[in-house]
Amino acid sequence: MTGETFEKDLPRTRGAPALARRSLGRWFAGDVEHDELRTAELLVSELVTNAVMHGRGTITLRAHLDEDRLLVEVIDEGGGFERTVRRSDFDSVGGRGLAIVEAEASRWGIHEGTTHVWFELERPGPRLGPEKNPAD
């Protein structure tokens, strides 16, 4: 299904991250290597959890696969947030979602002034150029 964009509205519930993982798994099964898909599922779970906990309104999951990358976006109707990876104490629970995204994604970012967060996982092959950055 390379080249297609998939989109799904998610409920604002604790079950939304699991639904997002299952959706990615169904959309890209057979088209994305197992380890890459597991990483995408982990990262989308973190972003959707943030949207449920801190966002507002409808949560939309969007994903696109092409020969260069898997691009995943999570969008809600909130007014934006600071793009900050928080440092947490070893004993604290939670608060590590964006640090995980930072560590595992090829690139990630936000559309300024919104709660539209994206990450991408590069596929094997040449490096991406800035013209493919969804934030531009």
Give the total number of structural domains in the chain: 1
Q: Is residue 128 a part of any domain in this protein?
A: no
Domain that holds residue 111: 5-122
pTM confidence score = 0.79
pLDDT one digit per residue (tens) for the chain, 136 residues: 568 899 999 999 999 999 999 999 999 999 999 999 999 999 999 999 999 988 889 999 999 999 889 999 999 988 766 555 555 555 544 556 788 888 889 999 888 767 899 999 998 765 556 665 555 4
CATH at residue 108: 3.30.565.10
Q: Alpha-carbon distance 106 to 128, whole Å?
A: 10
Residue 136 lies in a domain: no
In a domain, 131, yes or no: no
The position carrying tokens 């608060």 is 95
